[in-house]
Amino acid sequence: MTQHLAAPAAPTSGTHTGWWRDAVIYQVYPRSFADGNGDGMGDLEGVRSRLPYLKDLGVDAVWLSPFYASPQADAGYDVADYRAIDPMFGTLLDADALIRDAHELGLRVIVDLVPNHSSDQHEWFKRALREGPGSPLRARYHFRPGKGANGELPPNDWESIFGGPAWTRTEDGEWYLHLFAPEQPDFNWDNPAVADEFRSILRFWLDMGVDGFRVDVAHGLVKAEGLPDLGGSDQVKLLGNDVMPFFDQDGVHEIYRSWRTILDEYPDDRIAVAEAWTPTVERTANYVRPDELHQAFNFQYLGTPWDAAELRAVIDSSLAAMRPVDAPATWVLSNHDVTRHATRFANPAGLGTQLRTAGDRELGLRRARAATLLMLALPGSAYIYQGEELGLPDVTDLPDEVRQDPSFFRAAGQDGYRDGCRVPIPWTVAGSSYGFGSGGSWLPQPASWGGLSVEAQTGDPGSTLELYRSALAVRREHPGLGAGTAVEWLESPEGVLAFRRDGFVCTANTTGETVRVPLPGRTLLANETVMIVDDMAELPADTTVWWAV
């Protein structure tokens, strides 16, 4: 497996307005990135120690998944205190030191914000339970009487994303809404106290120096008036595909306009990024209108198979949807909630984004490397999930007894196999946890991890790590890459994508066969060896090539 890197083009003298428009943002899942104190769990000290690695990798910003005080019912997405660090991750002083070190290295820091729900151990919710029906604290959540002769049935038919009903009954007979686990009661955003509290939370972290927020479940804060029944079962299958009374309600946009005014008060382009599962990219674009958030994740792209026609369609629709609102398109292949793309592409298309089969590892890695080069060539901002730069596959054979994904333990919800993409990443060839820390790791790592480690791949010109480093270096320096709103599609054989940007051409062969194309220019980078014969380039199966023209 080889790749070819030529000297990058000279950097452009112009600059783009807004760093987020072409940023490459690296997602850190703190418990699985690096363990600084040797307790087997990743922490902020560990992340801080590895910031130079991220600087050398060539990313622009680091997004940290939740590190707030939490009972950890859902890996920190159940927040008990939004202004405190969970002791397993460190202290506020550790967070402050991490932010300062990142800024000294030229890295921006984005933190997760979880505004749809709190932990059931949040002080508001504990008081609401203690004070009983009629408590003003209950108005900050969705408490309702039940249906049936004695209120024994849930208030409506909504189902939890994690399986089972979205309602839990309290000892006093009322029910409360939780679109996720029972330990995650949903806030009532119609209550002014909730909006006031989150404006205060935003300012707290902005004053700490963070550069932005990734807004968890950004589409879920507002529920349809009256909480109407949805009708039917298997509602989770509608997620991101249909209109739902608890997701993507128009009222969320008033919240984000309010937040934008706060972000704009601070210097240095503070941003917010929406995790918004919507039926269409056009609906996603509503979250990034000029007076709302800055970016939104492109889940339609993440779920697209390795197929030229389908990729072109979602690229075109994504760029077209963002253009009228003057927002950058974003591109992502993996995150902490889906099977790593090196494993998804190792399996047949159409199996969804949570898989438990390893598939053809060689095929999956080859496609993953090609897909990464395609993604990084597109106009806009790109996201990298920790470990994908090592070509890590999902760990599909974790024993059931070590799994911690809450949806794994609830019937009829998500498949519950997210632990496979959360296994701590390897840094060294040897050691009890391959350099993750001195005290083992909270999820077992496979024996193959050493050979995939940062140590093993550094300096190997054919490694996936060096491919990422090279791609990010070229992307940063080439004037035709990064921010933009369009690509010029070029004529190409069936199964091949080819497009032009300023002084640059990208060709991606998504087929399983070698394809010959006219030579576009000088080779910059490829995930496989490309043969040049006369004026033709032979693209191996599942190969993306960058050309200078």
Q: Which residues are catalytic?
A: 216, 265
Instruction: Please give the span between the terminal C-alpha atoms of the chain, in angstroms, as a whole number.
Output: 25
Cα 48 from Cα 130, distance rounded (Å): 40
Cα 228 from Cα 231, distance rounded (Å): 9
Only one residue has tokens 């405190």, namely 84
Residue 226, number of CB atoms within 10 A of its CB = 8
Cα 74 from Cα 36, distance rounded (Å): 22
Only one residue has tokens 């159940």, namely 78
166 burial class (0-12, 13-18, 19+ CB within 10 angstroms)?
A: buried
DSSP characters over 313-378: HHHHHHHHHHGGGT---EEES--TTS--HHHHTTS-TTS-S-------HHHHHHHHHHHHHHHHHS
Which of 84, 107, 105, 104 minimizes the C-alpha distance to 95? Answer: 84
Q: How is residue 94 written in tokens?
A: 């550790």
Query: Judging by DSSP bridges, how do beta strands 61-64 and 143-144 pair with one another?
Result: unpaired
Query: Judging by DSSP bridges, how do beta strands 175-177 and 212-215 pair with one another?
Result: unpaired
Only one residue has tokens 């300062």, namely 100
Cα 154 from Cα 152, distance rounded (Å): 7
Host H or E run for residue 264: helix 252-265
∠ CA 343-426-67, nearest 5°, is 90
Q: How is residue 188 written in tokens?
A: 């009532």
H helix count then E strand count, the chain: 13, 21
E runs forming strands in 232-274: 271-274
